[in-house]
Structure 1
Amino acid sequence: MNNGSNRTVDPSCRDNPPVAMDIILKLDMFGIVLYSTLSVMAVISVLVFIEECSYIYRKVPSNKKSVIIWVNGAAPMISAMSCLGMWVPRATMFTDMFSACYFAIVVFKFLIMMLEEVGGDEAFLRRAGSHKLKISTGPCCCCCPCLPHVAITRRSLFLLKLGCFQFALLKTLFTIVSIVLWTNGNFDLSDLEITGAAIWINPFVGILTITALWPVAITFMHLRTTLRTLRIIPKYAMYQLVLILSQLQSAIINILAMNGIIACVPPFSSPARGYMMSQQLLILEMFIITLVTRLLYRRQYDPLPLDEDQMDDDENTKMVSMQKSP
C-alpha cells in the first residue's frame, strides 16, 4: 500500500513539456477560450506595432525612426514570443532567450532615444556643458549619495553608451553559448550544481543587466525635466515595467515551479506549468503595455531648441544635475 509519504506520482509530472498537439487535443472549453483570447491579444499587439511603424516612418525624423521602432517593439515582440511558447512549450527556452536578447538591445536603444530627443550627441554636450552627472542612482549606487558628480564630456558619454552596448552584445553571445550547451545536454536551468553551466552563466548575465541599466538611469535622471514635455517619464516607466515583468516576474514564477510550489497538472510538469503561466501572463501584460506605448509615442516630433539663447528663461533650470563646482 502507498501511504502519505509514498504517493504515486503521475509520470507526466516527471516528463518533458508536452508537444503542441498534446495541448490541442486535451484542451477543454475553458482552455479553448483562454488560448484563443490570448492568441488574439498577441496578434493585435503585433498589428498595432506594424501600424505604429507605418506612422513612425511617415511622421518621425530619420534620425529617430530606428530607435523609436526598436523601443516600441519590445512589448509586441515579447507578446509574440510568449504566444509561441504557450502553444509550443518545448520551445519556451528559445522564445524566452530571443525576447531577452531583443530587450537587451532595447536597453541600449532607449539610451540613444533620449539623446536623440535632445538633438543627438553634439546637442546633448552643448546643453550639458555646464552641468555634471549624478551617478548615485539605481540600480547600482542609489544607496551611495556620497559619490562624486561626473563632468559631462565626450568620454563620459562614450562610457554611458558602452555600459549599455556591452549588454546588447554579450547577452546575445551568452544566449548563443547557452543554446549550444543545451543541445549538448550541459545547460539546464534547474541544475543548480556548481558544475552546471546555468549556475555560472545566469548570475554573470544578471551583473551585465545591472551594469547596463545604470547608464540609462543616470541619463534619465539628468534629462527627465528637459524631456518632460515629450512624456519621457511615462515612457521610462513603461520601459521599466517591461523589464520587471519579462525578467523578474518570469524568474519568480519559474523558481516557484522548480521548487514544486506550483503544482503539476498533467500533461504539464511543475516547471512546464510555471513556464506556461509565465507566458500567459506576459501576453496579457504586454498587450496592455503595447496599447499604452502607442499613445505615448504617437505625437508630433518637433525638435527641441538646440542653442541656449533659443530656450525660454526657465529652460536652463531643466537639467536635473549639479552645477560644476567653482
Structure 2
Amino acid sequence: MSNGSNRSIDPSCTDRPPLAIDIIQLDIFGIALYSVLTFMAAVSMLVFLEECVYIYKKVPAKKKSVTIWVNGAAPVIGTMSCLGMWIPRATMFTDMTSACYFAVVVFKFLILMLEEVGGDKAFLRRAGRHKLKISTGPCCCCCLCLPYVAITRRSLFLLKLGSFQFAVLKIAFTVLSIVLYTNGTFDLSDLSITGAATWINPFVGILTIIALWPVAIMFMHLKTTLRTLKIIPKYAMYQLVLILSQLQTAIINILALNGTIACTPPFSSTARGYMMSQQLLIPEMFIITLVTRMLYRRQYDPLPEEEYALTLEPCLKQKLMGHYSAVLY
C-alpha cells in the first residue's frame, strides 16, 4: 500500500518550480491569462512613468522625490509580480525586491505628510502647542492609558528614526538572506528551529510593526489638517498596498507550506502558492495604480497658516454677527 501511494504522487509535486521555458508551453486559457496580466503590469509601469513626468513638471521640488517614491509602490510590486509569474524560480528574489521598495515607501510616506504641511519647521511651528497620541496601531491601539507626547524636535526625530530603521534593516536582511540562500542555508520552506528563515522573518516582522507605528501616529495627528489634500484616501491606498503585498502573500504562502493548496503539475504546492500570489497581486496593483494616479494628479491650494486661521475665525464671527444685527434692526 505504501508503494502504491508513493507511485500516485507526481514527481513534480516535490520538485523545484519549473523553468521559464516550461511556462511558455501553455493552453489557450493560460496564454490568455498570462497575456492579460502582463498587459496590466506593463500599463501600470507606463502610467507610473507618465506620472513621474507630471510630478517632475508640476510638483514643488521638495515633494518631487517622496511623491514619486510613494506613487511607485503599486506599479513596482505589480512589475515584480509579473517577472515572478513568468520566471517561477525567481519568485523569492522578486518578492524581496518588492518588500525592500515598500520598506522605503513606509519612510517616504511619513516624509510626504510632513512636506505637505511645509516641512519639519512648519510642522513644529504649527503643532508646537499640540501633543501626539501614541496609543494607536499597530503597536499600541489597545493601550489607551499611554500619555500624550509633546511635539518637539526630539519626538519628531524619533518618529523618523522608527520608520527609517525599517528601510535600512530590511535591505540589510534581504542581502543577508540572499547570501545565505546561495550557501544553501536560507530556505523559506524550512520551518525548523535551526532554519535561517525561522529567525530572520519574525525579526523583520517586528521591524515592520515598529516602522508602521510612527506613520500611523503622524497620520492620526495630521488627518484633519491635510483633509483638503485627500490624505485619508492616500493613506488608505498605502495601507491597501501593505495588506495585499505583505499580509495576503504571507497567508497564501503559509497555506501552501501546509499543503492546503493542492499540487498541480508542473507546480508543487509551494510553487503554486507563490504563483497564485503573483497572479493576484498584478490586477490588484493595477487598480491601485489607477486610483493613486487620480489622487496625486491634482493641483491643491496651499494650506493656510494655522496662526492666520486662528485669528481669522473671530473676525469672521464678528462680521457675521454685525451683518445679522443689521438685518434684524
TM-score of the two chains, using structure 2 as the length reference: 0.93
1:305 aligned partner: 304
Which residue identity does 1:201 align to in structure 2? I
Residues 118 and 306 in structure 1, CA contact (< 8 A), matched pair in contact too? no
Pairing 1:1-80 to 2, within 5 Å after superposition = 8-25=8-25, 27-80=26-79
Q: Which sections of structure 2, spanning at least 5 residues, go unmatched?
A: 315-329
Counterpart CA distance in 2 for 1:77 and 1:309 is 41
1:317 aligned partner: none
Residues 123 and 306 in structure 1, CA contact (< 8 A), matched pair in contact too? no
1:259 aligned partner: 258
1:324 aligned partner: none
SS in 1 for 2:313: coil
Pairing 1:253-292 to 2, within 5 Å after superposition = 253-292=252-291
Shift of 1:282: 0.2
Counterpart CA distance in 1 for 2:301 and 2:204 is 38
Counterpart CA distance in 2 for 1:307 and 1:220 is 18
2:158 counterpart of 1:188: no
Shift of 1:6: 5.2
Partner deviation per Cα, 1:81-127 (whole Å, 9 max, x = no partner): 00000000000000000000000000000000000000000000000
Which residue identity does 2:13 align to in structure 1? C
SS in 1 for 2:131: strand
1:172 aligned partner: 171
Which residue identity does 1:96 align to in structure 2? D
Shift of 1:304: 1.5
CA radius of gyration, larger in = 2
TM-score of the two chains, using structure 1 as the length reference: 0.94
Partner deviation per Cα, 1:137-188 (whole Å, 9 max, x = no partner): 0000000000000000000000000000000000000000000000000001
Which residue identity does 2:288 align to in structure 1? I
Q: How many residues align?
A: 313
Counterpart CA distance in 2 for 1:301 and 1:59 is 11
User: Aligned-pair RMSD on alpha carbons?
Assistant: 1.4
Report the more deviating stretch, 160-169 or 298-307. 298-307
Percent identity of the aligned residues? 80
Shift of 1:7: 5.5
2:317 aligned partner: none
Distance 1:4 1:130, change over 3 A: farther
Residues 85 and 92 in structure 1, CA contact (< 8 A), matched pair in contact too? yes
1:250 aligned partner: 249
Shift of 1:218: 0.2
2:107 counterpart of 1:116: no
Counterpart CA distance in 2 for 1:238 and 1:47 is 19
Shift of 1:307: 4.9
2:103 aligned partner: 104
Counterpart CA distance in 1 for 2:39 and 2:6 is 44
Counterpart CA distance in 1 for 2:179 and 2:301 is 47
Distance 1:270 1:197, change over 3 A: same
Counterpart CA distance in 2 for 1:8 and 1:207 is 42
Q: Which sections of structure 1, spanning at least 5 residues, go unmatched?
A: 315-326
Shift of 1:305: 2.5
Partner deviation per Cα, 1:198-244 (whole Å, 9 max, x = no partner): 00000000000000000000000000000000000000000000000
Shift of 1:309: 1.9
Higher relative contact order (CA 8 A, sep 6+): 1
1:322 aligned partner: none
2:89 aligned partner: 90
2:294 counterpart of 1:295: yes
Which residue identity does 2:105 align to in structure 1? V
Counterpart CA distance in 2 for 1:232 and 1:268 is 42
Distance 1:273 1:303, change over 3 A: same
Residues 75 and 289 in structure 1, CA contact (< 8 A), matched pair in contact too? yes
